[in-house]
Structure 1
Amino acid sequence: MTLPRLDSAGFVVIRAALGPTIHLRIAIRMLGGSAERMPAHGGGSWLEQIAWGVDSVMATARLAYVGQLLGAGMVIRQQLERWTENLAYNSGTFHRPGEDRADFIERVWSVAPKQSWRMPAETPNGRYPAFVSTRSPGRVFSDLSEFLHGRLYREAVAWDAVELLAPGRMGDSEVRSAYRLIAEGMALVVERLRACVGTYAVESGRAEMESMVWQLPNATPAGSKPPPSQMLYPLTPQTGLNPVVVADSLAVHSVFERILKGERPAGRVYRDDEMLDICFLEFRARAIAGALRAFSQEKEKVGRLDFDYLLFRENHYILSSEIAALASRWEQGEIADGLAISASALRSGFWLWLEDDDRAMSMLRTVLEQVARVRTWRTKPEKARRLEASPATMPRDWLEAAGLRRLAALNRALGEMAHLRADGSWSGARDLLAELQHPESRIEDYLHTGRGHALSWMSLILAKEAVAVIGRHSAVLARSMGEIVSWFDVDEPGRDREYQRFLDFAWTLRRADIIKKDRSGPAFRRAQLRKLFGEPPVPFRPAVLIGDPEVGM
């Protein structure tokens, strides 16, 4: 595969926000962090949770580098939620009944030092535009949410899905604004991760490392050129796992390990931009190694690897995304926006799924909402206008209006995984996704195939709606598109019966519970107590607020 050669001011702010992760990643390894942990996996220890946060910021940058701004926005919004919970716990800030999520985030961050982060206008490596975060944390969260729901920076999504990252459009106002929004979210998350790494260093008897972490600038200018494109590819055998890329990843991993030992592989100290790329490529090398281990384990379990089936699924998802993008090009307004958003979200969902990343399901929630939105505009435009005008409209309202209420259980499972909160349960949502597989279609290991099953059905549902939209312009072309995607070929009624059977079975699980079982830390326990007993009379206040520059950690 190929990616356009992109190089612009959008990458300047992404790389500046990413810059401090160089030292955070090195510090985590020096404190005992794993050299092999799959980036998408949180791990069981507190240090590995922090490491997962750093890797998540890098995952955000990876999607931003390839223009998948919607996916980048989803990952960093979840991280902002997760590390806000950390700050809330440490500052004794409680969620009030009925409080808007953005208001809660704003209130939590009000206890932290009010600092804006700025890229210096001039550095030894050249001139960079000054960048000051003008949005408050609550505003960053709400703007990210508006972006993910298709109400902000729609042209930035169309640039990815419809215009295929046309280099000449990267400087457009909405594209630049979307990059800046994502960078602001990254900067907030990195600020909390610095506090967590510093605290862990003190508790581990490494106070000198805490000083190093807090002496870092809030942003490190690192140019505008992205890492080598082959290290950004999706992890399929033909692209991100081909032998050349795997060999490159091993070489970069070796360089990083030598740096940790105090060596200078290049015979000199690396520049900031070089070191940032080395750390980023080490992050990708761990993802590649993890994927190869997973393939090896699967081969041991089943005796062979069916790459042809993986390629079939990849082609299915690509076709669904591209047909939706094509339909978007021929439409306008909300239908065009919804199809473009769905196309971009499905692609990011597939890329994340390849890395065993639960956040793939977050992207499918966006696909489901936007498909229902498009279908409502296509079949009930007056109802769609009312829903669009109401600030209280939820994804379930679009499903109801679109005649997709049988997908209520799927919407709840995906919605649970669209956010990351102290009282949430991704494992419970994964269990529900597994149960949504029809009993007659389940394999013995069906508990581990629920996410892939959801991805395939959402690809089908998107393709069906995109073909219906194309049918508004040409019945002949719609039929041809339907034949390309054999899942819903109109000449195969058995396929439609299978689709209807899935919808009917999903409806039987509409009241299934999502069992809360994977949050066991102190923040979760306190959240449960608040639900039972309400707000404590005297809020908990730690002796030292994390991040207070006057009293330290």
Structure 2
Amino acid sequence: MQLNNFDDKPGAYKVTTQRTPQRKVRARTARRATERANRKVGDRAERRGRRVLPTVEGFERALEERGPDGVAEALLSRHNQRMVRIVEVGVMSQQIALPLLSAYMPLSFIAEQLGAHQLRPTIRSGATWPDHLAWGLDSVGAAVRLMLGMQPIGAAIIARTQLERWSANLAFNVNQSQAPGEDMVAWLNRLWSGCGVWFPKHNKQVGDLFAELSELLHARGPLMSLTWLDAVDIGDTPSSEHVRLMETTSRALTVTLGHLRLCLATAVEDAGAVDLAESVASIPLVTPAESWVPHLGPIVWPMVPRHFDDPKIQSNISGMEVYYRKVADSMDGGRDPEVPRQGWPLYSLGHHRFRALTLAAAGSQREREIVGENPGYSIEDAMVSADLAGEMAAMLAAWLRADPARKPVADALAMCSSALRSAVWLWLEDDSRAMACLRCVIEQIARARAWRVKPNRAAKIESNPNATPRDWIEAAGWRRLSLFNRALGEFAHGATTADWEVAHQALVSIQHDADTNEHADLTGRSHAIRASIFMVGRECAAWVDSFGSPLGEAYRHIIDLDDIEADQSIEALMNRAWERRSTPVR
């Protein structure tokens, strides 16, 4: 694999090819015939992949029968099954997550009345205070979308960064600060409970919620059960225990919603509308979901380029946006909305996804303009590479968890699979929080590597409940990647001390052509995504070898991996990061 700079990569893996029609036909007819043929080929590959048992023996049998194609079909089929499950459990997941959007529509309307732009990008924090508050609401929408997509890591990162951001705002307003040496959890508990500020009353304080989300991002704690549900147990539906664990993210988001409501009510009062301010302060934050869509997939699935031209997806999302705007227009005109209130959370989701689709389409077009026809560098190819790497990591996690001694590695690889998926989904929408997901990926792939190359040292780190990502990266022999790790880590924080733009420039600086490429500023996050996918694939290949089967070589064939060249590519990345280690990240 020629990947000395993670840019010169081959095209997406093709399981089979179809024959080209021999007779001359009109272009439209030929295109439709090709599409039908491709669907048939894909359907056959999917049926074969579904028949492969999710065991080492099952994958070996697929390899014997169809060669590497059989293994690729099994991996891609697992990805497809994962997407289908989102639809199958859609009503249940909407009942769990949509209540968090109960107040989205009226609070967004108030933010827009104060000056927030109606068509603001969903992922920009905004230059004005109303836009910034609206970004907080949009962040709740982004987290809800990931919860509906069975994405615990991405949802937890958004909930955690928002908790940090609005805790910083609260601390400023009440003139309190974290004491020197005071633990973050203790500080948040003291801040939120000691100054008379409203927050949801339940059996967990704000700092404790923050701690549980933080533990998940290091692949620790009870919330890891959600990661296993996402990454490995793709045939399962969420149990009552899973639903209970999801409440940690829901509660953290409710804290954010409560503070946003307070900020908006205060802004309205400052504008002289005291009666309206009282009404805003009494808007219910969470009410039971009473309306949902039967086919959730097109609304929640990742914004891959083919979505932009799919009339069904466009129709579903645009239709929900129309209803959202009808309610907003009625509010703007002082009329009672004709659209029943039960549908507001659902239309709020559609409004968020409509704006995300618009932004993703523009980003895809910009990517094509920058990359041109460079084979293998398209968004679609990156998606296939991520699917193959993520599914192999998940499959290895399933195989390794049967051995108690290898359970830490299984946890690490399950986390890699789930976090990489969240990273790609957010990256497709130009959301910088994708980089926070990559920080989880790099930590856990380093953890898996440390267990493989330095098991004694890995065991010592594992016994330390306060182990840091740096510990694993150094144990993996990747100390020179410290800048990469630190830059990604900045995106996992939402406090005012974090500066995502500075961290982004650090990512830009470690590209091989950072000094010569006029588009380097636009490709820093893409480079980080592709490098992380590559490193996950490289480590997965090494762990497949531990089962003493020919599957390792088959997987290398699928992802076009040469170990020597791969190690040289990672070495080159580490050297660039080390040379620029003094680059600031905040």
Gap change, CA 1:64 and 1:298, over 3 Å in 2: closer
Once residues 114 and 201 of structure 1 are traced to their aligned partners in structure 2, the CA distance between those partners, rounded to angstroms, is 18
Q: Which 10-residue stretch deviates more, 359-368 or 278-287?
A: 278-287
Q: Which 10-residue stretch deviates more, 11-20 or 407-416?
A: 11-20
Structure 1 residue 391 displacement after superposition: 2.9
Does the CA contact (< 8 Å) of 2:89 and 2:237 recur in 1? Answer: no
Once residues 504 and 377 of structure 2 are traced to their aligned partners in structure 1, the CA distance between those partners, rounded to angstroms, is 26
| 1:178 partnered with 2:245 | yes
Gap change, CA 1:305 and 1:404, over 3 Å in 2: closer
Once residues 58 and 240 of structure 1 are traced to their aligned partners in structure 2, the CA distance between those partners, rounded to angstroms, is 20
Gap change, CA 1:193 and 1:221, over 3 Å in 2: same
Q: 1:233 aligns with which of 277, 297, 301?
A: 301
Q: 2:106 aligns with which of 23, 26, 31?
A: 23
Gap change, CA 1:231 and 1:402, over 3 Å in 2: same
Counterpart in 1 of 2:529? 455
Counterpart in 2 of 1:318? 387
Q: For 1:431-510, what aligned pairs fall within 5 Å after superposition?
A: 431-439=505-513, 443-486=517-560, 488-490=561-563, 493-510=564-581
Q: Match of 2:543, SS?
A: helix
Q: 1:56 aligns with which of 135, 139, 142?
A: 139
| 1:86 partnered with 2:175 | no
Q: Which 10-residue stretch deviates more, 37-46 or 253-262?
A: 253-262
Write out per-residue CA displacement over residues 429-466 of structure 1, whole angstroms, 9 at most, x where no aligned residue.
10000001013896321011111101111111111111
Once residues 141 and 378 of structure 2 are traced to their aligned partners in structure 1, the CA distance between those partners, rounded to angstroms, is 30
Letter in 2 for 1:407: L
Does the CA contact (< 8 Å) of 2:232 and 2:398 recur in 1? Answer: yes
Does the CA contact (< 8 Å) of 2:326 and 2:337 recur in 1? Answer: no
Letter in 2 for 1:259: V
Counterpart in 2 of 1:147? 216
Structure 1 residue 210 displacement after superposition: 1.5
Does the CA contact (< 8 Å) of 2:303 and 2:425 recur in 1? Answer: yes
Letter in 1 for 2:479: R
Does the CA contact (< 8 Å) of 2:364 and 2:379 recur in 1? Answer: no
Does the CA contact (< 8 Å) of 1:387 and 1:393 recur in 2? Answer: yes
Structure 1 residue 220 displacement after superposition: 1.2
Structure 1 residue 279 displacement after superposition: 1.1
Counterpart in 2 of 1:243? 311
Counterpart in 2 of 1:524? none
Counterpart in 1 of 2:71? none
Does the CA contact (< 8 Å) of 1:253 and 1:282 recur in 2? Answer: yes
Structure 1 residue 365 displacement after superposition: 0.3
Letter in 2 for 1:29: E
Letter in 2 for 1:320: A
Counterpart in 2 of 1:3? 84
Does the CA contact (< 8 Å) of 1:220 and 1:272 recur in 2? Answer: no
Letter in 1 for 2:583: A
Structure 1 residue 58 displacement after superposition: 0.9
Gap change, CA 1:298 and 1:366, over 3 Å in 2: closer
Q: 1:275 aligns with which of 344, 349, 357?
A: 344
Counterpart in 2 of 1:290? 359
Gap change, CA 1:359 and 1:268, over 3 Å in 2: closer
| 1:72 partnered with 2:155 | yes
Q: Which 10-residue stretch deviates more, 387-396 or 433-442?
A: 433-442
Structure 1 residue 422 displacement after superposition: 1.6
Gap change, CA 1:41 and 1:241, over 3 Å in 2: farther
Structure 1 residue 392 displacement after superposition: 3.0
Once residues 115 and 169 of structure 1 are traced to their aligned partners in structure 2, the CA distance between those partners, rounded to angstroms, is 35
Structure 1 residue 8 displacement after superposition: 6.8
Structure 1 residue 404 displacement after superposition: 1.3
Q: For 1:61-460, what aligned pairs fall within 5 Å after superposition?
A: 61-113=144-196, 117=200, 133-152=202-221, 153-164=223-234, 166=235, 168-173=236-241, 175-223=242-290, 225=292, 228-239=296-307, 242-262=310-330, 269-295=338-364, 309-332=378-401, 333-439=407-513, 443-460=517-534
Write out per-residue CA displacement over residues 250-276 of structure 1, whole angstroms, 9 at most, x where no aligned residue.
333222222222189xx9844444111
Structure 1 residue 303 displacement after superposition: 8.0
Structure 1 residue 114 displacement after superposition: 6.8
Q: TM-score, normalised by structure 1?
A: 0.83
Q: Structure 1 vs Structure 2: percent identity of aligned residues?
A: 30
Gap change, CA 1:222 and 1:316, over 3 Å in 2: same
Once residues 189 and 253 of structure 2 are traced to their aligned partners in structure 1, the CA distance between those partners, rounded to angstroms, is 16
Does the CA contact (< 8 Å) of 1:232 and 1:240 recur in 2? Answer: no
Structure 1 residue 219 displacement after superposition: 2.1
Once residues 449 and 103 of structure 1 are traced to their aligned partners in structure 2, the CA distance between those partners, rounded to angstroms, is 39
Structure 1 residue 327 displacement after superposition: 0.8
Once residues 483 and 304 of structure 1 are traced to their aligned partners in structure 2, the CA distance between those partners, rounded to angstroms, is 24
Once residues 10 and 287 of structure 1 are traced to their aligned partners in structure 2, the CA distance between those partners, rounded to angstroms, is 20
Structure 1 residue 199 displacement after superposition: 1.4
Q: Which 10-residue stretch deviates more, 276-285 or 303-312?
A: 303-312
Letter in 2 for 1:3: V
Structure 1 residue 29 displacement after superposition: 2.5
Q: Which 10-residue stretch deviates more, 216-225 or 80-89?
A: 216-225
Counterpart in 1 of 2:12? none
Does the CA contact (< 8 Å) of 1:20 and 1:218 recur in 2? Answer: yes
Gaps of 5+ in 2: 1-79, 402-406
Once residues 412 and 302 of structure 1 are traced to their aligned partners in structure 2, the CA distance between those partners, rounded to angstroms, is 28
**RMSD of equivalent CA atoms:** 2.6
Gap change, CA 1:23 and 1:3, over 3 Å in 2: farther
Counterpart in 1 of 2:66? none
Gap change, CA 1:263 and 1:508, over 3 Å in 2: closer
Once residues 258 and 304 of structure 1 are traced to their aligned partners in structure 2, the CA distance between those partners, rounded to angstroms, is 42
Structure 1 residue 112 displacement after superposition: 4.6
Once residues 403 and 246 of structure 1 are traced to their aligned partners in structure 2, the CA distance between those partners, rounded to angstroms, is 47
Does the CA contact (< 8 Å) of 1:233 and 1:240 recur in 2? Answer: no
Once residues 227 and 240 of structure 2 are traced to their aligned partners in structure 1, the CA distance between those partners, rounded to angstroms, is 12
Structure 1 residue 318 displacement after superposition: 1.0
Gap change, CA 1:473 and 1:319, over 3 Å in 2: same
Does the CA contact (< 8 Å) of 2:394 and 2:414 recur in 1? Answer: yes
Counterpart in 1 of 2:40? none
Q: Which 10-residue stretch deviates more, 147-156 or 205-214?
A: 205-214
Gap change, CA 1:301 and 1:345, over 3 Å in 2: closer
Q: Match of 2:379, SS?
A: helix
Once residues 371 and 539 of structure 2 are traced to their aligned partners in structure 1, the CA distance between those partners, rounded to angstroms, is 36
Q: Match of 2:259, SS?
A: helix
Structure 1 residue 96 displacement after superposition: 1.7
Structure 1 residue 335 displacement after superposition: 0.7
Does the CA contact (< 8 Å) of 2:439 and 2:485 recur in 1? Answer: yes
Once residues 441 and 114 of structure 1 are traced to their aligned partners in structure 2, the CA distance between those partners, rounded to angstroms, is 49
Gap change, CA 1:478 and 1:365, over 3 Å in 2: same
Once residues 186 and 6 of structure 1 are traced to their aligned partners in structure 2, the CA distance between those partners, rounded to angstroms, is 22
Gap change, CA 1:457 and 1:149, over 3 Å in 2: same
Write out per-residue CA displacement over residues 105-142 of structure 1, whole angstroms, 9 at most, x where no aligned residue.
1121124547674xxxxxxxxxxxxxx62110010000
Once residues 286 and 279 of structure 2 are traced to their aligned partners in structure 1, the CA distance between those partners, rounded to angstroms, is 15
